[in-house]
A and B are shown apart, each in its own frame.
Chain A
Amino acid sequence: MSERNITTTPSTSRSIKSALLTLLVALAQVISAGVAQAADEYKTVAVADPYLEMHTGPGRGYPIFHIVDRGETVEVLSQRTDWFLVRGPDGKEGWVDRAQMEQTLQPDGAITAFEEADQQDFTDSRWEAGLLAGDFGGANIISAYGGYSLNPHVSIEVWGSQILGNFSNGWMGSVNVVHETWPDWRISPFFTLGTGVINTSPKSTIVQGEDRTDQIAHAGAGFRIYATRRFVIRAEFKSYVVFTSRDDNEEVEEWKAGFAFFF
């Protein structure tokens, strides 16, 4: 019996090893293919201004160390915030800001335009995700959410929160429907209704109490404020009813603020 084990174990490990090796080789091939493909697929633009200024880093303070003359083409290697890493005809690489990049020409002669999220996308975008923190009936709350817009006015959101109090901790998950009355305003007010579950457990230093999971329902209102790019500032108030197994339902007020991205 033991002999059998000894003979089978190495062969199994060998087959796993060979499988892993095959996987690694395949992965390496995929990566090298990806790199090779990426290497010759950079967007090229032609300089239309008298010259294009290359900075040593992606920021306003970094000095200009090189220029590319009008009529020459550059390859756009990557983008970081509002800066573009470009490679000039002489192989030099440097960072160019958005304003200058928008003065270059594409191969078909059209002016280069970069997709930049604006307030219109703030209104029309489908997906949104964010982080908020605040006060939940005297306890601290940290929340994350993801939302999907059915139309500019109505969206559905899924929330997950961690509640950190002096006497108890807990988590909460909920589903909301959000209605924005004026979604095209920069400061857009909204109303929300939802339901979910809350779990509370007393802190370990407190002897009494037990873990509870209860259903909740809530109504609330707040603002989504368009900040910049894909950035939204959000603040809201929600009033919760916790359907406890005791005689009385608990009511909790929540104030939160934070930020979100739309995409």
Chain B
Amino acid sequence: MESRIRVLFLMLPLAALTLSGCAATKNLFGGGKESAPPPAELPQGQVIEPEVERREVKEPEIDTEDFEIGAFAGILSIEDFGSDFVYGLRIAYHVTEGFFVEGTVGQTEAGLTSFEILSGGAPLLSDDDRQYTYYNLNLGYNILPGEAFVGEGRAYNTGLYLIGGLGSTRFAGDDRFTVNFGAGYRFLLTDSVAMHLDFRDHLYDIDLLGEEKTTHNLEAHLGMTVFF
């Protein structure tokens, strides 16, 4: 009798174990929905938690596009030495919607003076000295911003700007202090790609042909720039 009771007592935990085992397998096979913990419905007082999570979101930075870089090509007329193909690079930084600062470098090659052509004598300059390179640092102002309409359905942002500044020109074997000024027309194909048409006058003193004089060297070029 006693042993039978003992067996019964032993059976009880065994049964409990089996049952719990069944429950575990039920959970394992996805049948135990009713025994899953209640969904995370937070009481009214605990709304702080999602706020903390939101603050962890890192805001993406705004892409600033104040710089403009590009290349240009056109014609530069060197006083006394004819006109030739000029090309160069341009970088600008837009400080405000009106003002910008700009740096340009350009290169061309001087032709022959009328005297050299007519006399047929010895050339005034060696080939190396005919290389004409310049750099300029300018301040610019967008004086007439506006829009241009192409056909009926297209509008493009444009701007007329004035520039002025100084730099150096290497020509005929020397570097010469150069002042330049001019005007340009900016035509924005998209919000960040622009076409430019520029007219500039480069002034410097030169004493190559006997006496020192100030020369005007006019440049017209077409350029393409990208804002970044």
Q: CB within 8 Å of B: which residues of A?
A: 38, 41-43, 56-62, 76-85, 93, 106-108, 114, 131, 133, 140, 142, 162, 164, 166, 169, 203-205, 228-231, 259, 261
Chain A residues within 8 Å of B157, by CB: 56-58, 62
**Contact for B59 among A78, A106, A259, CB less than 8 A:** A106
Chain A hits for B167, CB < 8 A = 142
Q: Which of B59, B142, B155, B208 contacts A205 (CB 8 A)?
A: B208
Chain B residues near A62: list those with CB within 8 A: 145, 147, 157
Are the C-beta atoms of B175 and A162 separated by less than 8 Å? Answer: yes
Check B55 against A108 for contact (C-beta < 8 Å): yes
Q: A80–B142 contact, CB under 8 A?
A: no
Q: How many A-B contacts if CB must be within 8 Å?
A: 99
Chain A residues near B174: list those with CB within 8 A: 169, 203-205
Contact of A140 among B63, B147, B177 (CB under 8 A): B177
Instruction: List B contacts of A58 (CB < 8 A).
Output: 97, 157
CB of B4 closer than 8 Å to a CB of A: no
Q: Are B191 and A78 in contact (CB-based, < 8 A)?
A: yes
Encode contact with A along B170-187: 1 for CB under 8 Å, 0 otherwise.
001111110000000000
Known: A57-B147, A59-B142, A59-B145. A133 touches B101 (CB 8 A): no
Confirm or deny: B10 has a beta carbon within 8 angstroms of a beta carbon on chain A.
Answer: no
Please state if B62 and A78 are interface contacts (CB–CB under 8 Å): yes
Residues of B at the A interface (CB closer than 8 Å) are: 51, 54-55, 57, 59-66, 93-97, 101, 137, 142, 145-147, 155, 157, 166-168, 172-177, 188, 191-192, 205, 207-208, 227
Determine the distance from Cα of A58 to Cα of B188 in the docked complex, in whole angstroms.
12
- Cα–Cα, bound, A230→B99 (Å): 13
Q: For the complex, what is the distance from the CA of A165 to the CA of B20, rounded to whole Å?
A: 99
Q: Do A85 and B191 have beta carbons less than 8 Å apart?
A: yes
Across the interface, do B62 and A82 meet the contact criterion of CB distance under 8 Å? no
Task: Report 13 cross-chain contacts, Cβ distance below 8 Å, ordered by A residue.
Answer: A43-B62, A59-B142, A79-B63, A81-B95, A82-B96, A108-B51, A114-B62, A133-B137, A140-B177, A142-B168, A162-B168, A228-B95, A230-B95
**Least CB distance, B30 to chain A, in whole angstroms:** 35
- The smallest beta-carbon distance between B97 and chain A, in angstroms, is 5
- The answer on a CB contact under 8 Å between B96 and A228 is yes
Q: Which residue of B lies closest to A133 (CB)?
A: B166
In the assembled complex, the Cα of A82 lies from the Cα of B94 at a distance in Å of 10
Contact check, A78 vs B147: say whether CB atoms are below 8 A apart. Answer: no
* Residue among A41, A81, A164 making CB contact with B96, cutoff 8 Å: A81
With a CB–CB cut-off of 8 A, which chain B residues contact A114? 62
Q: Given A80-B65, A84-B62, does the pair A56, B95 have CB atoms closer than 8 Å?
A: no
Are B96 and A61 within 8 A (Cβ)? no
